[in-house]
Amino acid sequence: MIPAGSHFVFYSAVSSTKQGDGKDGRPKYTPANPGPRTGFFVHLKKQQILVKKWDPIHEELVDGATSEEELARFRMGLMDLDQFLGPYPFDNGLRRWLSLSSNITEDTIKNLAPLNGSICSVSTFVDSEDDGKAAADKETPTDNLRRTHDSVIRFSPIPRRCYPPNATAQEITRCSMDRSYTLEVLLNESSPAALLGELQFAFVCFLIGHVYDAFEQWKRFVALICQSEDAITKHSALFHDVIGVIHYQIREAPDDFFIDVISSNNFLVPALQNLFTNLKEIGVSKALRERGELFKQSLSMFNWDFEEEDDEEQPVVVGD
């Protein structure tokens, strides 16, 4: 009953403690706290069968069937499996999931997922190669470690230089305040659809996969989009869709998400304040301006102030 499309499957290994025997004489175990969360994206086609099996040594799901004969055997026995499965939550689960993943396509998964296919909340490290520095000279034990290449989510790098080559001082200042140039560079390398897909991919990896690096990428994307003033009129369709994406992401986030993660770092409110200010500029279509206003109204439950100016923006008062 799983609908076709993109999905995120996640699990956690747990240890268990024996609590004696149950009524049926079998040992009764109580699960302890779960370990790190691991997941993977998959794009399913209609009537496709994907088989995974549990590897008890490495505590992970691995491919469980590859041949057509094996898949045919599972297909013939699907009815026997029903008693062990839970139905897909169509009532509200599908609508909520689509609001978070509507732009995550098969290409999005192929381009962004780690090479090993697994997205883990805890990074995998190995000993770094000898860089000519003795182990005793390393500042911390982690200096001897590096992330494994195949376990890293392949997020798009955002250019460090936010201005064009041979830019004047005035252009550098303008591009630092209005990041439309950087956004244009990203769009030239991919597409608006790919950017939306990565924005959703990063949020799902953080919210469900518990990957903090994904949250950092999501922050960078949101900040970049909200600071791109000139791009609003050129890419109005992109901003129209971005508003919808962020709206549903905020709706699906748990209540303490904004208190513990976003509000404490003073990130989202200033970013959205920039966006709402930019939407008031000349040249922005009426439809996009109204969509932004509706989005702003939907955030009233958080009591966020989008009108207050930053201290750096306040006029300087000089006394005698």
Domains and CATH numbers, the chain: 149-313 (1.25.40.550)
How far apart CA 46 and CA 44 sit, in angstroms, is 7
204 falls in which pLDDT band (50, 70, 90)? Answer: very high
Sequence length of the chain is 320
Quick one: pLDDT at residue 58? 86
Q: Is residue 248 over pLDDT 70? A: yes
Name which of 17-21, 70-74, 235-239 the model is least confident about. 17-21
Output 15 or 166, whichever has higher pLDDT: 166
Q: Which residues contact 35 (CB under 8 A, 6 or more apart)?
A: 12, 13, 14, 15, 59
133 falls in which pLDDT band (50, 70, 90)? Answer: very low
How far apart CA 268 and CA 213 sit, in angstroms, is 17
- How far is C-alpha 299 from the geometric centre of its chain's CA atoms? 21
Cβ contact 230:279 at 8 Å: no
2: nearest Cα among 68, 97, 106, 76? 97
Q: Is residue 110 over pLDDT 50? A: yes
217: nearest Cα among 109, 108, 112? 112
Quick one: pLDDT at residue 290? 96
Quick one: pLDDT at residue 81? 85
Look up the pTM and report it: 0.84
Phi, psi for 38 (deg, rounded to 5) = -125, 140
CB neighbours (10 Å) of residue 271? 18
Q: Is residue 312 over pLDDT 90? A: no
Mean pLDDT computed over every residue of the chain: 84
